[in-house]
Structure 1
Amino acid sequence: MRTLTVSLTPKQAARLQDAVEGGGYASNSEIVREALRLWEQREELRALELAHLKRAYEEGMASGEGQDVDRTVFLRTLKADRAARG
């Protein structure tokens, strides 16, 4: 494994120490590795969401020209549909 130097605030360092002393983790390194795994998962999810948005945009653009909608009529229709469903 590669060793890195990381700067933490005193509060962050204390939280790491508390987690290790409390038995939740075996070492500071274990905490950092878990944090990195969570960060990687979040980044993968963001990439998937971005790809989904790009596809939706492309599908929308390919669906043709948009049309003007009267918002009062649109909202009235939505409310009527909702009322009909109960």
Structure 2
Amino acid sequence: MPTVEKITIALTKEIADNVRSAVDAGDYASTSEVIREALRDWQLKRTSQQEQIEHLRRLWDAGLKSGSAGPLDMAEIKREARKAHVAR
């Protein structure tokens, strides 16, 4: 088991009440368990966001390396967009 480090956090009354309610309802054994689960979820979300950013960077780089798309005809772009919108 990893080493445990104790820290202190400040929560709004509403969040603290929700944490205690979850423990009182038997959903969690302790308030620490609630916070640990919330932090694990936060870590997963953060990791996912970082992976998405890296993916977008790779796509951006690939787009730049692919060269110019050539001249753009705005009238044609608008026609295609309207056609796609109507098809929905």
How would you bin the TM-score normalised by the shorter chain? Answer: 0.7 to 0.9
Three-state SS of the structure 2 residue aligned to 1:7 is coil
Within 5 Å, which residues of 2 pair with 1:1-86?
1-78=4-81, 79=83
TM value normalised by structure 1: 0.83
Return the offset for 1:11.
1.1
Deviating above 3 A after TM superposition, structure 1's stretches of 4 or more consecutive aligned residues are: none
**Between the two proteins, what is the percent identity of the paired residues?**
35
| Structure 1 segments unaligned to the other structure (5+ residues) | none
TM value normalised by structure 2: 0.81
| Structure 2 segments unaligned to the other structure (5+ residues) | none
Return the offset for 1:66.
3.5
RMSD, aligned α-carbons: 2.0
Return the offset for 1:71.
2.3
Q: Tell me the matched-pair count.
A: 83
